[in-house]
Amino acid sequence: MSKKEIGLALLLIVIGGITAALNPLFLSGVNLLNMANLIGLFGIFAIGQGLIIITGGIDLSVGSIFALLGVVLVDLLVNFELAWPLAVLAVLGAGLVLGLLHGLLVTRLKLQPFVVTLCGLLIYRGIARYYTQDSTIGFGYAGAELDTLAWLASGRSLGIPNPFLILLLVAGVMAVVLHRTVFGRHLYAVGRNEEAARHSGINTDGVIMGAYLLGGGLAGLATVLLVFYTSSVSPSSFGSFYELYAIAAAVLGGCSLRGGEGSILGIVLGTVLLQILQNLVNILGIPSSLNFAVMGAVILMGVIADRQLGLRRQRIQMTRSQPAAAE
Amino acid sequence: MAPLLELKGIGKSYPGVRALDGVDLCLEAGEVLGLIGENGAGKSTLMKILGGVLPPSEGRIRIAGRDRASLSVAEASAAGIAFVHQELNLFDNLDVAGNVLFGRESVRGGPLRLLDRRAAAARVAPLLRRLGADFAPETPVAELSIAQRQLVEIARALAAEARIIILDEPTSSLTLSETARLLSVVKELRTGGTGLIYITHRLGEIIDCADRVVCLRDGRLAGALPREEIAHAAMIRLMIGRELRALYAPPGRAAGAGGLEARGLVTPAFPGQAVDLHVRPGEILGLAGLVGAGRTSLARSLFGLDPPLGGAVLLDGRPLRLASPREAVEAGIYLVPEDRKRDGLVLDMPIVENVTLASAPAYARFGLIRRAAEWAASEAQRAALRIRAPDSAARVGDLSGGNQQKVVLARWLSMAPRVILLDEPTRGIDVGAKGEIYALMRALADRGVAILMISSDMEEVLGVSDRILVMHEGRISGGLEREGFSEQAVLRLAIGEVPAPDAAGQQESLPA
Amino acid sequence: MKRRSILAAPAALALAGLPRGAGAQEKRSLAFVVNVSADFWTICRRGIEKANREHPDFAMEMIVPGQASAAEQRRIVDELLARRVAGIAISPINPANSTEMLNRAAAQAVLFTSDSDAPNSNRAVYIGTDNVAAGREAGAQMKRALPKGGKAMLFVGTMDADNARERVQGIREALQGSQIQVVDIRTDESDIARAKRNVEDTLARYSDIDLLVGLWAYNTPQIYQAVKAAGREGKVQVVGFDEDALTLRGVADGTILSTVVQQPFEFGYQSMVGMVRYLNNDRGFIPASKQIIIPTRIIDKSNVAEFQAQMRELLRGR
């Protein structure tokens, strides 16, 4: 664990401790499992977002991808009555294709990721609404043939919500990919200094493309889980703003928007913090209207504290190494 | 008359360490004071104190007869101290006049304080004339060469009516002729009564322009030389406390056959010119020329960064396809780039990850990097190259320039080099580390590596190369064998003149 | 020339996007502007389609704003006026502060309000539910669920919507003097996932909660799912609004006591037919109060099967 992650974990413990002290029900099994479920849902695409942020990019389109792939999924299952494994594969594949598209636009046409994915945000939302003629679609009249998929996506195994288990799996795999493989090493190098990576013979475009592909695939996976969490998709609001939750989780978890920094553990802890914040608003009976304000205030405090601690560490290091670097 | 600037007993302490200790320094009006010293000797700390960036721990600063315990940045500027930095501090998006007058813009009256461009140009034009600049005040800075930007910085100092101008490595990015022009500007400023402190690693420039030399070593004054005693050997003795070995080490083996060959190579920078070049295993080929002559573009094309528009590149007689650096690296052609911080290193990563950046797959099993193996490889390189850091976990950004360059070299040495292209390999590196890097280059050549060294440092070109090619406006204007080396011959080829038959006879004595 | 064709392209696309293309030029258009996308409005659309079949000389369309914001609605209305539609029926998102926009529309076209009224504007008539009355109906159902009283929690998207405030007002009026205590109202800003988590968190926090009430169409299905997932069916009573498929399923299996449904089909049908009559200078159908109240219905176990079949029919082939 890096210092950043330890700091974040401490912040989690402090906030969790205060909440539990004010209302012990915070630590009740039911509440913890509910939170685990939501952490699973939001953590999966936050990891995808984090990978893209590490390359120095950003993905603003995830929320709209959820709406578009969500309506496609429901439509395939309910109206086309496609077998669920095929429908799920189609949605995962579509997520990969969208990621590939973003990656190509960013690397081949050298467009800025912010612009590419901002356009994605608008386009996918628009297509989703047009496709459904702006009506909410869901599993309301669907039969029992979806029970297996519904269990996989929203059920529990040994009492643990499946989305949380899926997150653990995804986080484990991605942690190995990011922290142990050549691809992960190259991802960090490209994020920190793309030119130096290119001068070392690294296929920088391929690495960046890989990050967008993974981001798209994870967004597809998250779509399936989110759709089964709500059982219905209203194309104009489904997933709206979720890209910001993902970005906030990644930034809280130590990713720098300049790229090259961040870890899977940090992103997961960032997601946990965000979910705790939303939960404590309800558990402590804080008016719902303050929900966003509480979230924003805690993130801001976290980032300020991190920055100040970082500067202090830097100063201490500077004074230590000053003589060596005096010239 | 009181000296312009007098420092008495300046010291700077950090917990446990003294970066500066009892430094005295004196600058008269109309004097050029050369300030030399190895990296880490305390030159930058001293200059930061003068610029008001750092407060001294002890000592006093006397400017034009007035004592000051310390300075703020604003006070230093008001006292007439101006800096021309190694890394230029200009606004690319403004024009020349906007940069020169930044902070003291010409404005029209009225509440809006609109900028008066015409008045600004009128104020700046005479300054530019005085510096012999060949560009107008309205030129956008983005269009200027590095040398021209340097002049803008000096014009800015003049506009601020600076009495004391500190030039910190001003020529590190300049070509020979540009350096010559800068030196004449320095002399012109001196005649006008300005005091200049000239910091450089290029001792030839000190010999050319300094009235006096002061040398720092380990935070103390190592000594001073009056005008008549300024010479290479004396300065190097002061800087490193001992004699420097001769720069040139003869090759340990004859150049072999094969190596890297470019035939009719057309680079994107000069689509109208074709270049022929052949660097053989075991030799160090120096590539000289003015900045912008096409040397870096040539190296970039050979490394696949800017794929060539035409012609062929052959390695040991076999043609190569160079669409990207990946192909070059696979073939064993490695580039040590000119700007190592931008192109060579990932500063935030530790030494080990920088060393294995290009060869990570070699340390991986089933796609997973074996940390122990790469650590061992990195530590071996660190020891072999004598990279000064506690261990391979040290962040590369915290290393000195020379050690950073060694990390770039370590990356390639840990692989299987066939050809190494070095672009300005010792820029901004102190004398001691330079020697180590030259020795490394020679050792590599003796191992059968073909080495192409691009350099704008005349001492280096003449002192290190086995053979020299000179480029002028995108083409090879001529070549020199070791016995024909001379500064004049290189310069003439660099400006496109065919050398006179007796060029070899004017050979200058090299620093020994 | 090239420049013009570039400019023309989006315009051509926009024209192609209009529902009835070139034919719309002769036909007079009537538009129904809703507040947000929901099944509720899909049913309304069926009413509009029925009206259009009866009056084929009009082009009738329904417009759904991208975001449930007053600004977005204003933009849509301005565009409709620019297209010179003959009549607009609208469910205003922020009626109290949209008077100027509504009056501008009323000056240039026939203006009806539906679903949510704007009594201070110059609208010709309001056709829709009386949300305070609907709230009182829900309050009566809440008393039916908890005859001995207990703790209730309300869920809604946002409280700055008039129908939310009016329904709450009606509920509070109906609960006067009863033993039912409204603990809190949790809002979700139209984020369905958050609507569900609000219910989950409520169930986690209040072990003694007796009754959950969903005020907006999507709230009740999320309550239904969360209660089932927590295994609290039967222990916690549910009263809802509107006719989401899951809500009806919950009514059918007994998890939900009852739901108060409006008749959006009638909103669409009567608004369109009313505007046609108004344009033909037949204003006799407008009462002095300028409000045509379409009554709400209570769907509970006794009538849910029949209602479900009816809904399936209306929503089929969408």
In this complex, the chains that touch C, judged by 3 or more CB pairs closer than 8 A, are A
Q: Is A182 on the interface with B (CB under 8 A)?
A: yes
Please tell me the distance in Å from C245's CA to the nearest CA on chain A.
Answer: 4
Q: Which residues of B touch A327 (CB under 8 A)?
A: 37-45, 400, 430
At A141 the pLDDT is 62
At B17 the pLDDT is 66
Mean pLDDT for B234-255 is 72
**Interface contact B360-A323, CB threshold 8 A:** no
Task: Tell me the HSE value of B37 on the side-chain side, using a 13 A CA sphere.
Answer: 27
Please report the sign of the dihedral spanned by the C-alpha atoms of residue C183, residue C188, residue C192, residue C193.
Answer: negative
Domains: count for chain B: 3
Which backbone phi and psi does B431 adopt, to 5 degrees?
Answer: -55, -45
Q: Is C221 on the interface with A (CB under 8 A)?
A: yes
Nearest to B41 among A193, A196, A327 (CB): A327
Question: Which residue on chain A is closest to B429 by alpha carbon?
Answer: A327
A&B contacts, CB < 8 Å: 109
Q: Is A236 on the interface with C (CB under 8 A)?
A: yes
Q: Is B143 on the interface with A (CB under 8 A)?
A: no
How far is A269 from A262, CA to CA, in rounded Å?
12
Q: Is residue B511 part of a domain?
A: no
Regarding whether B200 and B303 lie in a shared domain, the answer is: no
What the block records as the tokens of C301 is: 């176990």
Q: Is residue B355 part of a domain?
A: yes
Regarding whether B373 and B328 lie in a shared domain, the answer is: no
Spans of chain C, pLDDT less than 70 = 1-26, 317-318
- Greater model confidence, C61 or B68: C61
Span B469-478, pLDDT tens digits? 999 888 899 9
Burial class (CB in 10 A: 0-12, 13-18, 19+), C152: buried
Q: Is C36 on the interface with A (CB under 8 A)?
A: yes
At B503 the pLDDT is 41
**Interface contact A200-B305, CB threshold 8 A:** no
At B473 the pLDDT is 84
Task: Tell me the HSE value of C281 on the side-chain side, using a 13 A CA sphere.
Answer: 0
At B109 the pLDDT is 67
Q: Which residues of B, range 292-331, sit inside 8 Å of A by Cβ?
A: 303, 305, 324-326, 328-330
**Interface contact C205-A31, CB threshold 8 A:** yes
Regarding whether B433 and B400 lie in a shared domain, the answer is: no
* pTM, to two decimals: 0.78
Are 3 or more Cβ–Cβ pairs between A and C shorter than 8 Å?
Answer: yes
Please tell me the distance in Å from A319's CA to the nearest CA on chain B.
Answer: 6
At A322 the pLDDT is 43
Q: What is the CATH number of the domain that holds B302?
A: 3.40.50.300
Please give the share of chain B, as a percent, with pLDDT higher than 90.
26
At C7 the pLDDT is 42
Q: Is A26 on the interface with B (CB under 8 A)?
A: no
Span B125-178, pLDDT tens digits? 888 888 778 888 888 888 887 778 888 888 888 888 888 999 888 877 777 777
Q: Can you tell me which residue has the tokens 């798209």?
A: A216
How far is C128 from C296, CA to CA, in rounded Å?
9
What is the bridge-based pairing of β-strands B419-423 and B450-454?
A: parallel
pLDDT band at A319 (very low <50, low <70, confident <90, very high): low
At B46 the pLDDT is 87
- pLDDT above 90 for B59: no
Instruction: Identify the domain boundary among B217, B240, B263.
Output: B240
Q: Are A197 and B349 a contacting pair, CB within 8 Å?
A: no
At A13 the pLDDT is 93
Best mutation site among A127, A151, A237 for testing chain C: the one with the most C CBs within 10 Å?
A237
H-helix segments, chain A: 3-22, 29-54, 62-74, 84-107, 113-131, 147-154, 162-180, 182-192, 194-199, 204-230, 242-252, 264-283, 291-321
Span B384-417, pLDDT tens digits? 988 888 889 988 988 888 889 999 999 999 998 9
DSSP 8-state assignment for residue C37: -
Q: Which residues of A touch B217 (CB under 8 A)?
A: none
User: Which of A136, C250, C262, A199 has the alpha carbon at shortest distance from B345?
Assistant: A199
pLDDT band at A144 (very low <50, low <70, confident <90, very high): low
**Interface contact C246-A28, CB threshold 8 A:** no
Best mutation site among A177, A186, A199, A318 for testing chain B: the one with the most B CBs within 10 Å?
A199
**Interface contact A235-C191, CB threshold 8 A:** no
Q: Is A258 on the interface with B (CB under 8 A)?
A: no
Quick one: fold of C131-261?
Rossmann fold (3.40.50)
Q: What is the ipTM of this complex?
A: 0.85
Ranges of CATH 3.40.50.2300 domains, chain C: 17-129+263-286, 131-261
DSSP 8-state assignment for residue A90: H
Q: Which residues of B touch A199 (CB under 8 A)?
A: 303, 305, 325, 335, 337, 343-344
- pLDDT above 60 for B506: no
Regarding whether B271 and B185 lie in a shared domain, the answer is: no
Domain locations in chain A?
A: 39-135+145-271
**Interface contact A176-B357, CB threshold 8 A:** no
H-helix segments, B31-131: 43-50, 73-78, 96-100, 117-130
Q: Which residues of B, range 219-238, sit inside 8 Å of A by Cβ?
A: 219
At B64 the pLDDT is 80
Instruction: Identify the domain boundary among B240, B269, B294.
Output: B240
At B510 the pLDDT is 38
Span B1-56, pLDDT tens digits? 678 888 888 888 876 667 788 899 899 888 999 998 876 678 878 888 888 888 88
A&C contacts, CB < 8 Å: 117
At B13 the pLDDT is 80
How far is B461 from B27, CA to CA, in rounded Å?
34
Span A11-49, pLDDT tens digits? 899 999 999 999 998 998 888 998 999 999 999 999 999
- Greater model confidence, A289 or A223: A223
Please give the share of chain B, as a percent, with pLDDT higher than 70.
92
Regarding whether B349 and B308 lie in a shared domain, the answer is: no
Instruction: Identify the domain boundary among B220, B240, B260.
Output: B240
Nearest to B14 among A202, A260, A323 (CB): A323
Regarding whether B431 and B394 lie in a shared domain, the answer is: no
Regarding whether B428 and B299 lie in a shared domain, the answer is: yes
Q: Is residue B339 part of a domain?
A: no
Note the CATH number of domain C17-129+263-286: 3.40.50.2300
**Interface contact B398-A201, CB threshold 8 A:** no
- pLDDT above 50 for B507: no
Nearest to A327 among B18, B40, B360 (CB): B40
Span B340-363, pLDDT tens digits? 888 999 998 999 999 999 999 999
Q: Are B214 and B32 a contacting pair, CB within 8 Å?
A: no
Q: Is residue B512 part of a domain?
A: no
Nearest to A193 among B303, B346, B411 (CB): B346
At A8 the pLDDT is 87
CA distances from B127 to B155, B239, C40 (A): 6, 36, 76
Mean pLDDT for B468-495 is 86
CA distances from B493 to B182, B202, B496 (A): 21, 22, 5
At C13 the pLDDT is 45
**Interface contact B305-A198, CB threshold 8 A:** yes
Span A257-313, pLDDT tens digits? 888 889 999 999 999 999 999 898 888 888 888 888 888 888 888 888 777 777 776
How far is A320 from A303, CA to CA, in rounded Å?
26
Q: Residue B269: which domain range?
A: 249-332+417-506
Q: Is C67 on the interface with A (CB under 8 A)?
A: yes
At A213 the pLDDT is 96
Q: Is A125 on the interface with C (CB under 8 A)?
A: yes
H or E element, residue C253: helix C245-253
Regarding whether B410 and B274 lie in a shared domain, the answer is: no
At B123 the pLDDT is 85
Which backbone phi and psi does A10 adopt, to 5 degrees?
Answer: -60, -45
Question: Which residue on chain C is closest to A75 by alpha carbon?
Answer: C318
